[in-house]
Chain A
Amino acid sequence: MPYAVARHFDGDNSELLGVPRERTMGDRLHLEAAKLLLERRIITLTGLAVAMRQAAEWGSTLARTLISGGQVRPMDYYKAVADVYGVRFIDLQREPIDETLTRVEDRADYAERNIVPWRRIDGRMLIATTEITAEHFMWGDERFGPDNYDFVITSPFDILWETQKLFRNWDSFFAREALYSWKPEHSAKFTVTGPQKATLCVLLGGLVLSLIAAPFQTAVVLMATFTTIYSLTFVFKFILTFVGSSRKADMEISPEAIAAIDDATLPVYTVLVPMYKEARVLPLLTKALKGLDYPASKLEVKLVLEEDDTETIDAAKALKLPGTFEIVRVPPSQPKTKPKACNYALQFCRGEFVTIYDAEDQPEPDQLKKAVLAFRQGDPMLACVQGRLNYFNRSENWLTRMFTLEYSQWFDFLLPGLDWLKVPIPLGGTSNHFRLSALREVGAWDPYNVTEDADLGVRLAQEGYTVGVINSTTYEEANGVLPSWIKQRSRWIKGYMQTWLVHMRHPIALWRSIGTKGFLSFHFFIGAPPFTMLLAPILWAITLALWVTHSFDLGWLFPEPFGTMALFNLVIGNLFLVYFGVIAALKRKYYDLVPVGVLLPVYWVLHSVAAYKAFWQLLFNPHYWEKTEHGTSAITQKTLESVKQEAS
């Protein structure tokens, strides 16, 4: 039996030997396949009619519409396609690819064009693909020469799975080392570089010598420096909060603009969901993603799971998810971080835009459309739009309330403030929507940085890209368990320390690339917070010693004007920081959180605890990813129960 379509192709000739060309292309191919599926009673006539209408409205192929709608299994669909072509359908899992025929140089083509050399039989190369077009012939001609190959049909998922297996080590290496190989100075693979180590040694040596030679004067200079940093950080936060609290600072995308979108013009959108041991919350996530207002045929959801996490992989399979969902298995390697998993999955993304959600995320349904509009109507250099994050379990306990206040201030005031000032925005871990080409151009995420999102925001700015904040919220589960909170927070603080150290390897280059305003905001927003968190307990101790014990006089430490500045920071600065936290609740209309806001200083104590843990880890375990446990909230449990009941 001939396995392939015999052909004699030239550009203008519309005939393929054996198979007329018009039958192999576009809508007619899919209609023929659909006819076969009808005959085989795999789909119904009504289902087909609905799919055809949707395909027309969404501007998608009938194939993607039928598969994404769950009407037909990909394998059945592509068997029908093979029959239309009159070629053989290959199940690549049963009859795997001959790996000696593949080339790493063509890796991207295999993923993006769904085309891969399968086997050589009787001297002829057989190329597995999902569709046979002129483009496919050109690809074959370039590699194997005309008349030396034939095609077989398979499903895109088969190609994805098999090429993932074949290029497992290469893809894994690429995910880990691409950025380091390209721009080692932007990678956190090594926490500090040689020159940085030397500078630190000189500074520390100088400090020790100064403390020995002139201890009082040195202490005064140190305190003056700390006081100034505190004052400037306060002023910076004040400006950001005030500017960000304006309605004008929001990138407003109106419901009318969303309603006016023609679905046919929407691009393919990839959603990455990196997860590890989160089988419990999978049903919740899939429900949220199914609820997205975006044509299913243009949605590509990739559940990015670690290969050894069989529990989650099995749970995902058991959910019998529609064709929009794919499972990407990440081979085990160090560092075992979320950015590495995302980098791995990025190699299989086909969307024009890509976003990331966490396992327990519940994005507002129109978020993807808002992001598309923002990209279309924004600056051409707009590489990323950040959705706002907030919590659905804010009233669960004191910690979740504090966390909600903090996030509200962060995403509703501070980030829009940074956006307004046109300075680098440290991205949030999820709900950041990227233009895929820009993301690839900057080398994607740094797998060695534990706040890869914040780092990416700075790198995008350095490459001349901009970041915006859109008026769409993703609701997450606030971490309400103290040990888990400390773990999560210490990772974030460690990541900020890493990011600051990485970008301060070449401070002048950084200053040149992001400008003076951006340079200052980088220090005040990314460098200063971990520093002040570490410093705070020391200053509290001094204040206590000064005010409570009255046993010794430390007034000499704060000569004027630093004494006044220190008092300003202590009283007015700190109280205003509490105030900013409190007003953050107003924008969200979380009125119940306003009185609780006065307890924010207690929350800051926890930050300092986490900061010391982060500092310790930065020294001894910089790439360790402290996993945040999701699904602990009573609200999450309740929602999960209702989802399960609905499903049953």
Chain B
Amino acid sequence: MTLLASSAPVVSARKPLMRLATAIVWIVSLAALLLVASHVIEAGFVRRDIEALRAGEAWRNGGWLSQLVLSLVGLVPNLDWQQSILSLTAAVVAGLAFGLLYDRLRASGWTIVGSVAMLVLLASHANVLYAITAASRGLPLYFAFAALIPAIRQMEDVGDVQSTIGLGLLMPLLLLAGPLTTPLIVPLALGAALADPDGRRDPRAFAAMLLVAVIPALIVAIGVVGFVTQSGIGIVNVILPYYATYGALRMGDVAQSLGILFTFAPVAVVPLLYCIWPNLPERRYVWSALAVVAMPVWLAVGRMIFSNSMLPFVPAVALLAAYISWLCVVRLPFLLRAIAMLALAIAVVASWTQTGFWDDPLWKAALFSGLPTDPGYLGLRPGL
């Protein structure tokens, strides 16, 4: 809209839906990821998602969005088709995300080379590649974290009603991503309510803002109950994943889980440095920076003290997703940007070398099956 000031009018210029460079990045990413995914399948690797589907895990762990996709894929009788559909879906979604990331990185002051390098590094991360080509059930979670960071940042920066709505509308993603991410709705809603100056002064305003932040998640929860009831799954199955997760506490190795997180994603240091870095080129937005680290830390801790089937590397990929999303909305000085790239490079190296924390030799074998040094893996095919 025209912004009328005392001087000259500012006429709004509509942006194109997608820039050419963004489209190219998207297509190249999509093609590359599809090639890798098909290569892995061709090599005989069965996606972990399919294993979960075959084991009847769909609808049991509360990751409603991924379970919905898996259930739809389950309607296809042929295993190859199931694999192909899942790989295609993951590649298309990831490719689109890469295109968007490139566009936003450029908008945040990254050069073409820098942006492409960051995306190449991200795609080279073993856990990220695994998440796209082998075990994509975590994708909604990663997208939820990636989407929440700009929303939190907008709350800090703009603070208009659209920011509140935006954050509120993203909360259901946490609900749909799984039981372990659902509790994050509470601190985020509280944060949203407190972010508003009125919310800090006036209890009525606080309650109103809290409600507005929480209501979309409640609506989606009611919707899930409605759909589950209609499809005959039963309301008990909606509650069961939450009961299974929070019904009993266990004391797992929290330190090890955090160790995995920061080994595979040492990038956490960058947003922390940002919080104390002198002379930033923009106003400091601390809460979004802290959220990049805090949310994955919760996952890393939560997966150790609550019952769940979350893979060990999931918090690290969630951190990477939040991190790269944060880089898209923050303006960093050159040195910090260099550290950001270096940290990601270290993460990539660690993801391939630190096999003590997590490894899937079958997947790696399939991935490198075309390489002459390791032809023996071609015959590997895990049983179902």
Contacts of A568 in B (CB 8 A): 223
Contacts of A256 in B (CB 8 A): 5-6
Ordered by A's residue number, 6 sampled pairs between the chains whose C-beta atoms are within 8 Å are A257-B4, A260-B6, A420-B1, A571-B226, A575-B219, A575-B222
Q: A595 in the interface, Cβ–Cβ < 8 Å? A: yes
Q: A540 in the interface, Cβ–Cβ < 8 Å? A: no
A293 to chain B, nearest CB (A): 16
Q: A247 in the interface, Cβ–Cβ < 8 Å? A: yes
Interface of B is mostly: helix
A33 to chain B, nearest CB (A): 37
Given known pairs A572-B223, A583-B165, the reply for A257 and B5 (CB within 8 Å) is: yes
Tell me the complex Cα distance, A594–B214, Å: 13
Q: A564 in the interface, Cβ–Cβ < 8 Å? A: yes
Q: Which residue of B lies closest to A587 (CB)?
A: B161
A582 touches B4 (CB 8 A): no
B158 touches A247 (CB 8 A): yes
Q: B276 in the interface, Cβ–Cβ < 8 Å? A: no
Partner of A377, one of B4, B219, B223: B4
Partner of B161, one of A245, A563, A576, A595: A245
Partner of A592, one of B5, B162, B169, B204: B204
| Given A583-B168, A595-B207, 11 extra CB contacts under 8 A | A246-B160, A252-B1, A256-B5, A377-B9, A572-B226, A576-B219, A579-B219, A583-B212, A585-B208, A589-B205, A594-B207
Task: Convert B146-189 into 0s and 1s, putting 1 for each residue whose CB lies closer than 8 angstroms to a CB of A.
Answer: 00000000000010111011101100000000000000000000
Q: A373 in the interface, Cβ–Cβ < 8 Å? A: yes
Tell me the complex Cα distance, A250–B160, Å: 11
Tell me the complex Cα distance, A576–B160, Å: 19
Interface of A is mostly: helix
Partner of B164, one of A253, A575, A586: A586
Q: B42 in the interface, Cβ–Cβ < 8 Å? A: no
A591 touches B208 (CB 8 A): yes
Task: Convert B200-225 into 0s and 1s, putting 1 for each residue whose CB lies closer than 8 angstroms to a CB of A.
Answer: 00101101110110011001101100
Contacts of B5 in A (CB 8 A): 254, 256-257
Tell me the complex Cα distance, A589–B160, Å: 11
B202 touches A416 (CB 8 A): no
Contacts of A246 in B (CB 8 A): 160-162
Tell me the complex Cα distance, A79–B202, Å: 62
Give the residue among B4, B202, B208, B226 with the most A Cβ atoms within 10 A: B4
Given known pairs A242-B165, A594-B207, the reply for A250 and B1 (CB within 8 Å) is: yes
Q: Which residue of A lies closest to B222 (CB)?
A: A571
Chain B 1-44 interface residues, beta-carbon cutoff 8 Å to A: 1-6, 8-9
Q: B227 in the interface, Cβ–Cβ < 8 Å? A: yes
B202 to chain A, nearest CB (A): 7
Contacts of B215 in A (CB 8 A): 575, 579, 582
Partner of B211, one of A241, A377, A576, A595: A595
B13 to chain A, nearest CB (A): 13
A residues with a Cβ closer than 8 A to B are 241-242, 245-254, 256-257, 259-260, 373-374, 377-379, 416, 419-420, 468, 563-564, 567-568, 570-572, 575-576, 579, 582-583, 585-587, 589, 591-592, 594-595
Q: B198 in the interface, Cβ–Cβ < 8 Å? A: yes
Tell me the complex Cα distance, A81–B11, Å: 48
Contacts of A250 in B (CB 8 A): 1
Q: B279 in the interface, Cβ–Cβ < 8 Å? A: no
Partner of A468, one of B2, B164, B166, B209: B2
Q: Which 9 A-B pairs have CB atoms at the shortest separation, nearest pair first?
A: A594-B208, A377-B9, A257-B6, A246-B162, A245-B162, A247-B160, A591-B208, A260-B6, A575-B219
Q: B309 in the interface, Cβ–Cβ < 8 Å? A: no
B171 to chain A, nearest CB (A): 12
Q: Which residue of B lies closest to A471 (CB)?
A: B4
A419 touches B219 (CB 8 A): no
Contacts of A564 in B (CB 8 A): 227, 230
Give the residue among B2, B160, B168, B169 with the most A Cβ atoms within 10 A: B2
Contacts of B165 in A (CB 8 A): 241-242, 245, 583
Contacts of A248 in B (CB 8 A): 1, 3
B161 touches A583 (CB 8 A): yes
A589 to chain B, nearest CB (A): 6
B227 touches A567 (CB 8 A): yes
Contacts of B160 in A (CB 8 A): 245-247
B residues with a Cβ closer than 8 A to A are 1-6, 8-9, 158, 160-162, 164-166, 168-169, 198, 202, 204-205, 207-209, 211-212, 215-216, 219-220, 222-223, 226-227, 230
Tell me the complex Cα distance, A572–B168, Å: 14
A582 touches B212 (CB 8 A): yes
Contacts of A374 in B (CB 8 A): 4
A419 touches B222 (CB 8 A): no
Tell me the complex Cα distance, A592–B162, Å: 20
Contacts of A587 in B (CB 8 A): 161
B208 touches A251 (CB 8 A): no
A252 touches B4 (CB 8 A): yes
Contacts of B227 in A (CB 8 A): 564, 567
B155 to chain A, nearest CB (A): 13
Tell me the complex Cα distance, A386–B16, Å: 29
Tell me the complex Cα distance, A568–B230, Å: 11
B6 touches A572 (CB 8 A): no
Give the residue among A257, A416, A586 with the most B Cβ atoms within 10 A: A586
Contacts of A575 in B (CB 8 A): 215, 219, 222-223
Contacts of A260 in B (CB 8 A): 6
Contacts of A579 in B (CB 8 A): 212, 215-216, 219
Tell me the complex Cα distance, A175–B164, Å: 48
Q: Which residue of A lies closest to B223 (CB)?
A: A572
A419 touches B226 (CB 8 A): no
A248 to chain B, nearest CB (A): 6
Contacts of B4 in A (CB 8 A): 251-254, 257, 373-374, 377-378
B6 touches A254 (CB 8 A): yes
Tell me the complex Cα distance, A420–B2, Å: 10
Tell me the complex Cα distance, A563–B229, Å: 13
Give the residue among B8, B162, B205, B216 with the most A Cβ atoms within 10 A: B162
Contacts of B204 in A (CB 8 A): 591-592
A444 to chain B, nearest CB (A): 26
Tell me the complex Cα distance, A579–B160, Å: 16
Tell me the complex Cα distance, A242–B169, Å: 10
Contacts of A247 in B (CB 8 A): 158, 160, 162
Contacts of A378 in B (CB 8 A): 2, 4, 9
Tell me the complex Cα distance, A242–B167, Å: 12
Q: Which residue of A lies closest to B218 (CB)?
A: A575
Partner of A572, one of B158, B161, B202, B219: B219
Tell me the complex Cα distance, A64–B67, Å: 75
A585 to chain B, nearest CB (A): 7
A251 touches B222 (CB 8 A): no
B211 to chain A, nearest CB (A): 6
Give the residue among B8, B160, B208, B226 with the most A Cβ atoms within 10 A: B208
B208 touches A586 (CB 8 A): yes
Q: Which residue of A lies closest to B159 (CB)?
A: A247
B198 touches A589 (CB 8 A): yes
Contacts of A253 in B (CB 8 A): 4
Tell me the complex Cα distance, A592–B202, Å: 11
Tell me the complex Cα distance, A253–B2, Å: 9
Q: Which residue of A lies closest to B212 (CB)?
A: A583
Tell me the complex Cα distance, A253–B5, Å: 6
Tell me the complex Cα distance, A254–B10, Å: 13
Contacts of A379 in B (CB 8 A): 2
Tell me the complex Cα distance, A252–B169, Å: 26
A594 touches B212 (CB 8 A): yes
Contacts of B161 in A (CB 8 A): 245-246, 583, 586-587
A251 touches B1 (CB 8 A): yes
Tell me the complex Cα distance, A514–B4, Å: 26
Contacts of B202 in A (CB 8 A): 591
Tell me the complex Cα distance, A595–B206, Å: 12
Q: Which residue of B lies closest to A244 (CB)?
A: B162
Contacts of B3 in A (CB 8 A): 248, 251-252
Tell me the complex Cα distance, A570–B220, Å: 12
